[in-house]
Amino acid sequence: MSSAALRDGILAVPVIDISSFRMPYADPAARSEVVRRVDEAARTVGFMQIIGHGIPESTLSDFTRATDAFFALDTAAKAGYRCPPGINRGYTPPRAESLANSLGLVSAADLFEAINVGCSAAEFPGLGLPEDVYAPNVYPVEVPGFEAAVTAWFEAAGRVARTMVRIFGVALGGSEDYFERFTDHSIDVLRMNNYRLPTPDAALEKDQLGMGAHTDYGIVTVLWADQVPGLEIHGVDGNWHPVLPADGALLVNLGDATARWTNEEWISTLHRVAAPRIDGRLVPRRSAAYFHDGNVDAVIECLPSCVTEDNPARYEPVTVGEHLAAKLAGSRGGQLNQNATREAARLRPV
């Protein structure tokens, strides 16, 4: 699972217009070019800037207005929306998680606070899905319109994620519906992050980050973020390279499930969020990550087309549910993940 490639020492995250994959009668040559560019980015950087995604500006503005109002609530009000351990829904206060634990690494607690919503078991009747994984959502009654605005963004980001997975299917030599058997009851979660910081000149703990180094866990992540410094991607040179969203773009990156399915032909890139600073002073920063993680019972196993005699399978089969449980037990439960040695090796001193 390599780090992002550099060109002339620069980390370039390509901007890709996916509008042809949203149009039923688009030019086949245009669609093929999208596939080619996504495949190239997946093999070299693991991140891409997506435009032509079709999400109206009004959907974003309603969404950010609602999330800003929630994070502006007092500490006691937000704490009322915390969920029990093991439930990946509801509110997380600042310094309650350490994303680096998902790699089996010890680090200072992360600065961010967050609220999560996701798919619930009730949306897939008759499948008997585990209620702890597909948990009901909690919505703050103190913020009028929060549920509607967040649901609209959840649905819009989900459409982008599913479009990307259709592109993945073609890029990996199959059809647009290739991954449908792995995603027809996908564990999809939207995490809204606020880098709630002390005063602009406050001192932080040693090595404290907005969000610690990690790889994402599932198939694909669709990220909206402020155009504020913070997000950094790990390069092949061992350094961290800053990335700012392009105007109107969503950042899309691959998760561990895709890297494992492709036997690391595609990259699940290490990334982190440094404490956001401009001219040396801490500044506010917001983001929202939509995780399209796959079915809880889907088996992540190297695709036959990605395994050869010279490139044998690097991973044992594991279900999406098992993989997510180990990662979340690290980041949210503080149990160092022992199943991420290949990812973590890139950060450990030689």
pLDDT grade for 203, boundaries at 50, 70 and 90:
low
Tell whether the model's pLDDT for residue 122 goes beyond 80.
yes
0.85 cut: is pTM over it?
Answer: yes
| Residue labelled with tokens 């973020």 | 225
Average pLDDT taken over every residue of the chain: 91
Region 310-317: mean pLDDT is 92
Most confident of the ranges 8-17, 94-103, 297-306: 297-306
Asked whether 217 and 257 are in contact (CB, 8 A), the reply is: yes
Chain centre to alpha carbon of residue 213: 12
Q: What is the 3-state secondary structure (H, E, C) of the chain?
A: CCCECCECCECCCCEEECHHHCCCCCCHHHHHHHHHHHHHHHHHCCEEEEECCCCCHHHHHHHHHHHHHHHCCCHHHHHCCCCCCCCCCEEECCCCCCHHHHHCCCCCCCCCEEEEEECCHHHCCCCCCCCCCCCCCCCCCCCCCHHHHHHHHHHHHHHHHHHHHHHHHHHCCCCCCCCHHHHCCEEEEEEEEECCCCCCCCCCCCCCCCEEEECCCCCEEEEEECCCCCEEEEECCCCEEECCCCCCCEEEEECHHHHHHCCCCCCCCCEEECCCEECCEECCCEEEEEEEEEECCCEECCCHHHCCCCCCCCCCCEEHHHHHHHHHHHHCCCCCCCCCHHHHCCCCCC
Q: What is the pLDDT of residue 200?
A: 59
Asked whether 271 and 46 are in contact (CB, 8 A), the reply is: no
Ranges of each domain in the chain: 22-344
Tell whether the model's pLDDT for residue 68 goes beyond 70.
yes
Asked whether 43 and 153 are in contact (CB, 8 A), the reply is: no
Region 272-280: mean pLDDT is 83
Q: What is the pLDDT of residue 334?
A: 75
pLDDT grade for 199, boundaries at 50, 70 and 90:
low
| Listed residue (212, 171, 216) closest to 191, CA to CA | 216
Radius of gyration of the chain (CA): 19
Half-sphere exposure of 154 (CA within 13 A, CB side): 20
| Residue labelled with tokens 């390069």 | 235
Tell whether the model's pLDDT for residue 350 goes beyond 50.
no
Q: What is the pLDDT of residue 349?
A: 44
Tell whether the model's pLDDT for residue 166 goes beyond 80.
yes
Q: Which CATH architecture has domain 22-344?
A: Sandwich (2.60)
